[in-house]
């Protein structure tokens, strides 16, 4: 019979129940290789563990070994974000599969909170730290993280000294624009999510992918078809109206994110037009609260949150000397109803 809650069994009691030494129990529970503990003894020990409800003292184990089975996850607002939270989900799944757990803190970009989170994680002797961002940007990794293995995810270490895992923004921009080219469109506009002088990798990469797809297709680079906003619905609305007012308007628009695409839908509706039928729209993010629920559903590029987190943990749990400097994870095109074949011009 299992012990009642509140009565903590000891390793000595497990040994007594199984009829073995405390050392044998320790060997079994720590799964020490190369021991002479036979299968029958191992089964008796595990049966005693189950009957007594014995739990190892993880903190004491970390004091003895110098390392816990915890992985720190420090982020700005990932855990509380409605879609970037998939980073944490991916990290938790991979940690569980490898016998580890995630110790997560959102710092909301508050230096004091981040410092406290670092103190806590170092005191718990975490195996390493995933340093995550809600959106793809350049980050300055705290000096204290040089003490333990660290991987930046959904961002890039500005100094280039810490392994970074991030979305392949250029590949995503290329895939979005190429999809429009393959649908027969030759007047393809882009509404970016940041000003031309911004150093954010997301907009820089997505614009580069757009340009590469046009070049590959032999289509001209018409700067009149490129607009810059801040990635909000209002900019998508206003800038789409500007584009449609051109003397030779685009037949398709690649929007730098799904919120901008939502604004483009609103602009079309205000003119009595419809996405897909009168102007094809592609977004970026595959925002689960936006893309599937627009009418028609938005064709968009999905950010690989879970894949990035899994890859970050794979890197973290390997020999730190073999950590790659930068790893770009491909983004997937999600097709819905907002892209149609281009109409022949009359």
pLDDT in tens, 218-260: 999 999 999 999 999 999 999 999 999 999 999 999 999 999 9
Distances (CA, A) of 125 to 12, 101, 128, 131: 26, 13, 8, 16
The pLDDT score that the predictor gives to residue 212 is 98
Rounded CA gap, 338 and 295, in Å?
Answer: 8
pLDDT exceeds cutoff 80 at 170: yes
The structure tokens 């809650």 sit at 5
Q: What is the pTM of this model?
A: 0.79
Rounded CA gap, 73 and 38, in Å?
Answer: 39
CA-nearest of 311, 260, 157, 284 to 209 is 284
- Is there a cis peptide before residue 296, judged by omega within 30 degrees of 0? yes
H or E element, residue 284:
strand 280-285
pLDDT exceeds cutoff 50 at 288: yes
Is 169-303 a CATH 3.30.365.10 domain? no
The percentage of residues in the chain with a pLDDT greater than 70, rounded to a whole number, is 88
Q: Is 169-303 the same fold as 66-167+305-330?
A: yes
Q: Which homologous superfamily does the CATH classification assign to the domain defined by 66-167+305-330?
A: Response regulator (3.40.50.2300)
pLDDT tens for residues 321-344? 666 689 999 999 999 999 999 987
Mean pLDDT across 125-147:
91
Least trusted range by pLDDT, from 30-39, 157-166, 219-228 = 30-39
- List residues bridging with 3 in a β-sheet: none
The pLDDT score that the predictor gives to residue 35 is 58
* Fold designation for 11-56: 434 Repressor (Amino-terminal Domain) (1.10.260)
The structure tokens 């977004």 sit at 283
| Phi, psi at 50, each rounded to 5° | -70, -45
Rounded CA gap, 52 and 23, in Å?
Answer: 18
| Phi, psi at 27, each rounded to 5° | -60, -40
Distances (CA, A) of 109 to 102, 112, 135, 240, 244: 20, 9, 13, 33, 39
pLDDT tens for residues 48-104? 888 887 766 554 554 454 455 889 999 888 766 666 678 888 888 888 888 888 888
- List residues bridging with 282 in a β-sheet: 254, 299
Count the Cβ atoms, other than its own, within 10 Å of residue 32: 10
CA-nearest of 63, 61, 8, 2 to 30 is 61
Mean pLDDT across 5-20:
77
Rounded CA gap, 227 and 315, in Å?
Answer: 38
CA-nearest of 241, 173, 246 to 206 is 173
The structure tokens 């490129």 sit at 226
Least trusted range by pLDDT, from 11-25, 222-236, 269-283, 323-337 = 11-25
- List residues bridging with 163 in a β-sheet: 151
pLDDT exceeds cutoff 50 at 302: yes
pLDDT exceeds cutoff 70 at 179: yes
Mean pLDDT across 165-173:
98
Q: Can you give the residue ranges of every domain in the chain?
A: 11-56, 66-167+305-330, 169-303
**Top-confidence residue, 63 or 209:** 209
């Amino acid at each position: 019979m299992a012990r009642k809650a509140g009565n903590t069994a000891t390793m000595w009691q497990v040994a007594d129940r199984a009829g073995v030494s405390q050392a044998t129990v320790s060997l079994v529970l720590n799964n020490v290789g190369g021991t002479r503990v036979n299968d029958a003894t191992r089964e008796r020990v595990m049966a005693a563990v189950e009957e007594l409800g014995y739990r190892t003292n993880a903190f004491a184990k970390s004091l003895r070994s110098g390392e816990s089975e915890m992985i720190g996850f420090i982020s700005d607002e990932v855990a509380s974000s409605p879609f970037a939270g998939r980073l944490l989900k991916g990290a938790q799944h991979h940690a569980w599969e490898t016998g580890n757990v995630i110790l997560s803190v959102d710092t909301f970009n508050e230096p004091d909170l981040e410092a406290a989170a670092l103190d806590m994680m170092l005191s718990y002797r975490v195996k390493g730290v995933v340093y995550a961002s809600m959106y793809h940007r350049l980050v300055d990794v705290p000096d204290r993280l040089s003490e333990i293995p660290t991987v930046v995810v959904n961002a890039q270490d500005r100094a280039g000294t810490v392994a970074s895992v991030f979305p392949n923004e250029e590949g995503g921009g290329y895939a979005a624009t190429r999809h429009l080219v393959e649908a027969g469109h030759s007047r393809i506009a882009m509404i970016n999510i940041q000003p031309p002088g911004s150093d954010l990798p997301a907009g820089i990469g997505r614009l580069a992918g757009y340009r590469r797809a046009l070049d590959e297709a032999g289509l001209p680079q018409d700067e009149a078809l490129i607009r810059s906003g801040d990635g909000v619905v209002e900019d998508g609305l206003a800038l789409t109206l500007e584009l449609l007012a051109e003397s030779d308007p685009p037949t398709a628009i690649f929007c730098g994110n799904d919120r901008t695409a939502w604004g483009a839908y609103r602009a079309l509706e205000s003119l009595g037009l419809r996405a897909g039928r009168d102007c094809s729209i592609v977004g970026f993010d595959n925002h689960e609260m936006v893309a599937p629920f627009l009418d028609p559903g938005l064709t968009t590029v999905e950010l690989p949150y879970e894949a990035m987190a899994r890859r970050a943990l794979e890197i973290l749990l390997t020999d730190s000397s073999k950590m790659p400097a930068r790893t770009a994870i491909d983004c997937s095109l999600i097709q819905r109803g907002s892209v149609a074949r281009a109409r022949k011009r009359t």
